[in-house]
Structure formats: C-alpha cells, structure tokens
Amino acid sequence: MLDIAAYYSYLPRQPGSHPDPALAAPSIVARCAISRACASCHATSDAKLGTPWLDGQSAVYVKAQLQAFATGGRRNEISEQMMNIARQMTAAEIDEGARYYASRP
C-alpha cells in the first residue's frame, strides 16, 4: 500500500473538469475561523501534512465526501475533524465549496 501511495503521489495533478481561476473563493473556503475554513488545511499541497489537496477535484466527488462526513457515512479519520466541520456546513456551503475547488486549476 505504501508503494502504491508513493507512486500516485508523484503523478502529475490533472486539471479540474471546468477550470475557472477567476471564480472567487466562497466564504466557507476563505473564512478566517480556522475550525471552518477549508483553506486552513486544504489550500495547497503543503497546507497541512496528511490532508488532501482539493484544487481540481471533481465537484461531484467533493460534495459526496462532505455529505458522507456530515451523515457519518465516512468514518476514516481518528480525530473526526472533517465529520465535525461537515456537520456544521449548510447544503449551500457544501455546493459552493465543491464548485470552487472543482474550478481551481
């Protein structure tokens, strides 16, 4: 598993399906409250060790994962940080965040 993870981590990142660098970050992404700001952990590949880089991810994928965290369907983190954050997000915030990260190159 470690070899496979290392292999995939060195592959070049693919652009989002609909890149739009001009799209402004919604408040859920840019907000200063560290506990709710996506960018505090997911802004770039070096934002926080062990967190995935969301730029260019499919909006459908990001939305599905946030919904799974919010409902408890995804339980693969020890600290449950994403579960707690996703539970506090509104449906509009989930949609905005997913669209924003999908638009990033």
Percent of the chain, pLDDT > 90? 15
The answer to whether the pTM exceeds 0.75 is no
Percent of the chain, pLDDT > 70? 71
Give the per-residue pLDDT at 35: 44
Q: Is the pLDDT of residue 33 over 90?
A: no
What's the domain range around 99? 2-103
Say which DSSP state 56 is in: T
Structural domain count of the chain: 1
Give the per-residue pLDDT at 68: 95
Residue 80's region, left for phi above 0, alpha for psi from -120 to 50, else beta, is left
Interatomic CA distance for residues 22 and 44, integer angstroms: 17
Interatomic CA distance for residues 47 and 55, integer angstroms: 12
Which CATH number do you get for residue 19? 1.10.760.10
